[in-house]
Amino acid sequence: MPQPYSPIEPYCTHRLKVSELHELHVEECGNPEGTPVVFVHGGPGGGSEPWHRQFFDANRYRIILFDQRGCGRSTPHAELRENTTWDLVADMEKIRELLGIQKWVVFGGSWGSTLGLAYAVTHPRRCRALILRGIFLLREAEIRWFYQDGASWIYPDAWEAYRDAIPVEERGDMVQAYYKRLTSPDPAVRAAAARAWSIWEGSTSKLFPSPDMAARFGEDRFAEAFARIECHYFINKGFFESDDYLLKQVHRIRDIPGVIVQGRYDVVCPMRSAWDLHQAWPEADFAVVPDAGHAASEPGILSKLLEATDRYAGS
Ligand code: STX
């Protein structure tokens, strides 16, 4: 079993005001003189967690974690206004400038891969390397697969609760139906929809599903931000100008060292997207883990991620 690095605490935290409305939580761990790496969390709306620090050797990396707008310790919680992909890309630049970093390694899984790619194609010269896992390009087919029809064929049991939160006559467009509830003025309606949405994702993330994970995803505070922000980004097609925007922009980053790590049995972000990215960016290292799903904590995925961070750590 691969072991993550030991738990660590930040040596420094920041509150960064990025708009009239939003303030971000930013933290630095590890070695202030080390290679800078930014951890880009999933969702959108998932927030960063203490164990995310453990993908990196604290002796060799200056590890930067932040909570994206509206989630984790950033405020206001679950806020959808002034919250777009391009706001988040701009926030990453603000963080980089605040910390006086020229170039950093960008590490992200799932939505973290989406945002990591959006950042990298916009600011390629700021990226020392990219480490991407569980590739999500936020294309219509990916949203349809997981939230409408596809993953439901693999997890019909977990699907029931997600489906039953929506009345039959609205099930033709689940994302739209959820959006209506997740933005309802009634907090009880919002909370019920958020729980159902979030538990669906938590129940399907691992090759061997863990009840712990599903339960954690169902906690009110987490679910509210996760479900509302995800749904908002999906309704808005990721704020990308076209469905294949990221793939079309990959030419901008092909000379940056890159690693793509993908679980073969990822049901949340099926391997087709990682494969499409690999085709568009053949120079990047492409590691398919034959016995894993979506989660970064699965042994085969963790092992490849640790290998990748070790490679770019410098001396
Ligand atoms: N959303 C996939 C995603 O980014 C489509 C994601 N799924 N679960 C997570 O992120 C966390 C484990 C980070 C909450």
pLDDT tens-digit readout, 270-309: 999 999 999 999 999 999 999 999 999 999 999 999 999 9
Total number of domains in the chain: 2
Record the pTM. Answer: 0.98
Catalytic residues: 110, 266, 294
Give the atom of ligand 1 at the shortest distance from the alpha carbon of 296. Answer: 12
Between the CA of residue 12 and those of 2, 24, 166, 252, what are the distances in Å? 28, 14, 44, 33
In DSSP notation, 165-180 reads TS-GGGGGGHHHHHHH
* DSSP state letters, 201-242: HHHSSSSS--HHHHHHHTSHHHHHHHHHHHHHHHHTGGG-SS
Kindly state if the Cβ of 42 falls inside 6 Å of ligand 1: yes
Q: Is the pLDDT of residue 315 over 80?
A: no
Last residue of a domain, one of 191, 222, 238: 238
Residue 93 C-alpha to ligand 1 middle, in angstroms?
A: 23
Neighbours of 197 (CB within 10 A): 27
Whether residue 258 sits in one domain with residue 113: yes
Model confidence pLDDT, tens digit, residues 157-188 = 999 999 999 999 999 999 999 999 999 999 99
Residue finishing a domain among 238, 260, 283: 238
Domain extent, residue 204, equals 141-238
Q: What are phi and psi of 86, to 5 degrees?
A: -75, -25
- Same domain flag for 152 and 134: no
Residue nearest to atom 13 of ligand 1 (CA): 42
Average pLDDT, the chain: 97
56 close to ligand 1 (CB < 6 Angstrom)? no
Mutate to test the pocket of ligand 1, among 107, 235, 268 (most ligand atoms within 8 A of CB): 268
Residue 50 and residue 159 in one domain: no
C-alpha 134 to ligand 1 mean position (Å):
9
